Chains A and B, each alone.
Chain A
């Protein structure tokens, strides 16, 4: 979707390295959702952000939403092979959370 741009498209890192994935919206977000998809499986919910400047962490993954609520970043600290997969950001532009617009995804490979 051109309304939501995700970068980079793919990322290969050595185990133990930190990395950041970005999600940029052309419109103000009511909510921003981060999901992870493993090959051949469905999406797994990671985190949801809705307030400007909000930051959430779960284990080694931290997600932030900027003050203007148009950009989010997902940061993984000390990456592990278990972090490998496709990371997708989903934007709620309507405020209902029923219709999410997804970014094109970031394919993450973590080399042991």
Chain B
């Protein structure tokens, strides 16, 4: 009965590779997010989708491409991975109402060697 799930939990890969992280929510929420948490625990939003449409796109390299096949899924694809991409990536979702909490997934720890 996991609310927001992410796969994989850990991802170790070489520089230059392409990788994807998947996210699914079973809460019926309309909005989904991707966050990046760096080594200093600073959490920064990357993207937000509402009903499969991109609504927030922060200053993120275009090597990062989110894809939302349906309202319950928001995947993150990263091309040509760089050392600086190493971080924990969190997916989250929220209902489409004002002042609502966001529900976070467990995170994916990406290590680029």
Contacts and interface: CB of A to CB of B under 8 A. Distances in A.
Interface of A: 1, 30-31, 33, 35, 37, 40-45, 48, 50, 86, 88, 90, 92, 95-102, 104-105, 107
B4 A42 contact: yes
Question: Which of B44, B98, B101, B105 has most chain A Cβ within 10 Å?
Answer: B101
Given A45-B101, A48-B101, A50-B99, A98 B43 contact: no
A43 B104 contact: yes
Contact of B55 (A1, A90, A92, A98): A98
B42 A102 contact: yes
B104 A105 contact: no
Q: DSSP class of A's interface residues: helix, strand, loop or mixed? A: strand
Given A98-B48, A100-B45, 17 more contacts: A31-B99, A42-B107, A43-B90, A43-B104, A45-B101, A45-B102, A45-B103, A88-B43, A97-B98, A97-B100, A98-B31, A98-B33, A98-B94, A99-B45, A104-B42, A105-B43, A107-B41
Given A98-B31, A98-B55, A99-B56, A42 B42 contact: no
Sorting the interface of chain B by its residue count into under 10, 10 to 19, 20 to 34 or 35 or more gives 20 to 34
A65 B3 CA distance: 29
Interface of B: 4, 31, 33, 40-45, 48, 50, 55-56, 90, 92, 94, 97-107
Contacts, number: 66
A42 B99 contact: no
Contacts of A99: 45, 48, 56
A95 B11 CA distance: 35
A43 B92 CA distance: 9
A13 B96 CA distance: 39
A50 to B, nearest CB: 6
B6 to A, nearest CB: 8
A35 B26 CA distance: 21
A35 B33 CA distance: 16
A104 B37 CA distance: 10
Given A42-B107, A43-B104, A92-B99, A104 B56 contact: no
